[in-house]
A and B are shown apart, each in its own frame.
Chain A
């Protein structure tokens, strides 16, 4: 059983929901990322989505675009991101880490070299925004051989037929994108998301994480009620941007943001 599967199974047995924060690796600077990952865990993260910076993040709004620019200013490369995960694993062997990014850095490194290095460093899953399952025939076997969970997106526009097909290519969890839009855009319509996620649950046995538009304890709880986990990105990245000059204030701000979400999610179990 993969680390992701184990964590999600365990949470489910306690009727709890996964809190999955996203940060961009190398933002605000590469030497801060591992410490930030530990902060996220202390504040209640069950799984970490670690963004791999890319020069052309087409599915991201301004907040994560700027995070990519900050990270790239420091030359943060995919190899360095993998090294960060290795360092994180020295003291945390429990929290699954999913790399989230775009295909080209992986392609430049070479799929096999990437899969080897990622698995060896303790990466658990890979979410490649611009790689639909139709184009994943080369990477899929490489990931499967190394027990890297391929995590794919589902969108409000995804047809039932595709939801089934995408689920078959996925392991760990599927990531439901709650809105039509880039990261960090409009707030979500909770009722609409609830009915769509309920429908996704009918079509797949995999856990369903929901992301985009979750920015506080209230939206986290509302979405947690209908899903297996919530993914929180832009609001964290924005907090990093605003506190980049002061690591201590940043730690506190991230904790203050995540902790209420953790509590709100856990209160659903009671």
Chain B
């Protein structure tokens, strides 16, 4: 089933209870309800407040360095021999990923709400770094929760966060990855709800987080739309973005949802292969359930226990996904696919070799799929990859896989 989404229809999602069709909502313990309702009310007010929006836009321009370029990857296009491949360069943002668009927005919200203590969860560490960065700049106390396994495989980012003045809490419970970091962040929030603002790093969590994170990240798609029209006189035929929680993907997709001709591809982490069960692809292979405050597609066992995930990239290693993606999947507006660890690593090497751009391992999933996709398309068509982040943080992982000690 595919539905044509008009601008008017889009305004109805999420609805007043934060639902995108059957997904989303607000499934949290009672202690947090008041804070979430206040946050929703304040956000909806500030969203229309020119002063707030001007402050946000100014930071995006002068602190993040936006707009990020839309770059024609000529050599990659030639080698692929299909559609033109363009790159939206979120890797060039301050701190090296799209995550900062959101942390700037939420830190501004925190300031407007008078909260001085910030908490965040992080997987790859990019959101943790982006949060620690805005906290340093605004003089806010910052606590980052990170799965103990991720602390190990993303040690560079752990050190960056510490340099920025954040306290990094290694989470030892559960599977010691992103989902457990989010559990502990929620627990901290319940205990410190009066003075603490929780900066969630993706379009998941209870309403209004999926809404406000999407709004903050939508700058990616708005710029892409304008830049594509300026540079090529037309809209792209396909957009490709990796999907962990789904924030860089929704940020890219959202401003194009009512453009019927633009195909949307969200690329999940196929890990060792979907059929091995060792992956992190809830949209491709999961089913609806409730976790971390919202209803969405999840990886779980037959008893509703959340399943362990596997991906070579820490930032995609999450058993859930933002509820708006769950909805876009069900109404058929976006396509969700997966690529394996090995394919992603090939994508990483390819972009590095032919364009001199080293993508994050998360992004490498989008690169790998876009290359396959472009090869099946005509030369006069246009594919845009959202290069959500740069690969510096992953050098250790790559070296390790290559058996090189650095």
The one of B25, B191, B303 in contact with A105, judged by C-beta atoms closer than 8 angstroms, is B303
Which of A14-22, A128-136, A198-206, A222-230 makes up part of the contact surface? Answer: A128-136
The one of A55, A135, A157, A181 in contact with B27, judged by C-beta atoms closer than 8 angstroms, is A135
Decide if B187 is an interface residue (CB 8 Å cutoff): yes
Residue-wise, chain B 151-188 has the 8 Å CB interface mask toward A (1 for contact) of 00000000000000000000001100001100100110
Q: Which residues of chain A have C-beta atoms less than 8 A from B30's C-beta?
A: 132, 152-155, 157-158, 166, 177
Q: Which residues of chain A have C-beta atoms less than 8 A from B31's C-beta?
A: 59, 153, 155-157, 177, 180
Decide if A263 is an interface residue (CB 8 Å cutoff): no
Q: Are A58 and B303 in contact (CB under 8 A)?
A: no
Q: Which residues of chain A have C-beta atoms less than 8 A from B192's C-beta?
A: 180
Instruction: Give chain A nearest CB distance to B136 CB in angstroms.
Output: 28
Q: Are B17 and A134 in contact (CB under 8 A)?
A: yes
Q: Are B26 and A104 in contact (CB under 8 A)?
A: no
Q: Are B33 and A158 in contact (CB under 8 A)?
A: yes
Q: Are B306 and A56 in contact (CB under 8 A)?
A: yes
Decide if B292 is an interface residue (CB 8 Å cutoff): yes
Interface centre among B17, B28, B302, by most A CB within 10 Å?
Answer: B28
Q: Which residues of chain B have C-beta atoms less than 8 A from A135's C-beta?
A: 17, 25-27
Decide if B29 is an interface residue (CB 8 Å cutoff): yes
Closest to B289 in A: A104
A31 and B95 CA atoms in complex are apart in Å by 53
Q: Which residues of chain B have C-beta atoms less than 8 A from A69's C-beta?
A: 174
Decide if B385 is an interface residue (CB 8 Å cutoff): no
Q: Which residues of chain B have C-beta atoms less than 8 A from A154's C-beta?
A: 30
Decide if B194 is an interface residue (CB 8 Å cutoff): yes
Which of A106-114, A239-247, A249-257 makes up part of the contact surface? Answer: A106-114
Q: Which residues of chain B have C-beta atoms less than 8 A from A58's C-beta?
A: 28-29, 183, 186-187, 292
The one of A61, A157, A162 in contact with B187, judged by C-beta atoms closer than 8 angstroms, is A61
Instruction: Give chain A nearest CB distance to B206 CB in angstroms.
Output: 9
A107 with B290, Cβ < 8 A, contacts A55-B174, A132-B28, A182-B187 known: yes
Residue-wise, chain A 90-118 has the 8 Å CB interface mask toward B (1 for contact) of 00000000000011111111000000000
A263 and B97 CA atoms in complex are apart in Å by 61
Q: Are B33 and A180 in contact (CB under 8 A)?
A: no
A114 and B168 CA atoms in complex are apart in Å by 40
Closest to A61 in B: B187
A58 and B293 CA atoms in complex are apart in Å by 10
Decide if A143 is an interface residue (CB 8 Å cutoff): no
A131 with B27, Cβ < 8 A, contacts A54-B305, A55-B305, A55-B306 known: yes
The one of B28, B187, B194, B298 in contact with A104, judged by C-beta atoms closer than 8 angstroms, is B298
Decide if B258 is an interface residue (CB 8 Å cutoff): no
Q: Are A130 and B28 in contact (CB under 8 A)?
A: yes
Instruction: Give chain A nearest CB distance to B296 CB in angstroms.
Output: 11
A153 and B33 CA atoms in complex are apart in Å by 11
Docked complex: B344-377 residues within 8 A CB-CB of A: none
Docked complex: B279-309 residues within 8 A CB-CB of A: 288-293, 295, 298, 300, 302-306
Q: Which residues of chain A have C-beta atoms less than 8 A from B35's C-beta?
A: 157
Q: Are A134 and B179 in contact (CB under 8 A)?
A: no
Q: Are A162 and B27 in contact (CB under 8 A)?
A: no
A104 with B291, Cβ < 8 A, contacts A157-B33, A162-B34 known: yes
A104 with B292, Cβ < 8 A, contacts A135-B26, A155-B29, A158-B33 known: no
Decide if A78 is an interface residue (CB 8 Å cutoff): yes
Interface centre among A58, A65, A108, by most B CB within 10 Å?
Answer: A58
Q: Which residues of chain A have C-beta atoms less than 8 A from B191's C-beta?
A: 180-182, 185
Decide if A147 is an interface residue (CB 8 Å cutoff): no
Decide if B193 is an interface residue (CB 8 Å cutoff): yes
Q: Are B187 and A132 in contact (CB under 8 A)?
A: no
A132 and B31 CA atoms in complex are apart in Å by 10
A132 and B293 CA atoms in complex are apart in Å by 11
Decide if A39 is an interface residue (CB 8 Å cutoff): no
A44 and B190 CA atoms in complex are apart in Å by 32
Docked complex: B12-46 residues within 8 A CB-CB of A: 17, 25-35
The one of B179, B190, B194 in contact with A59, judged by C-beta atoms closer than 8 angstroms, is B190
Q: Which residues of chain B have C-beta atoms less than 8 A from A78's C-beta?
A: 303-304
Q: Which residues of chain B have C-beta atoms less than 8 A from A25's C-beta?
A: none
A132 with B300, Cβ < 8 A, contacts A59-B190, A157-B31, A182-B187 known: no
A61 and B190 CA atoms in complex are apart in Å by 11
A69 and B173 CA atoms in complex are apart in Å by 9
Q: Are A157 and B193 in contact (CB under 8 A)?
A: yes
Residue-wise, chain A 68-95 has the 8 Å CB interface mask toward B (1 for contact) of 0100100001110000000000000000
Q: Are A132 and B27 in contact (CB under 8 A)?
A: yes
Of the A-B pairs whose beta carbons lie under 8 Å apart in the complex, a sample of 12, sorted by A's number, is A55-B174, A78-B303, A104-B298, A105-B305, A107-B289, A107-B295, A108-B289, A130-B27, A157-B31, A158-B33, A177-B29, A180-B192
- A58-B186, A159-B34 provided; 8 other pairs, C-beta below 8 A? A55-B305, A58-B292, A59-B187, A60-B187, A61-B187, A105-B305, A109-B304, A130-B293
The 10 closest A-B pairs by CB, nearest first: A108-B304, A105-B304, A155-B31, A181-B191, A77-B303, A153-B30, A55-B305, A59-B29, A155-B30, A104-B304
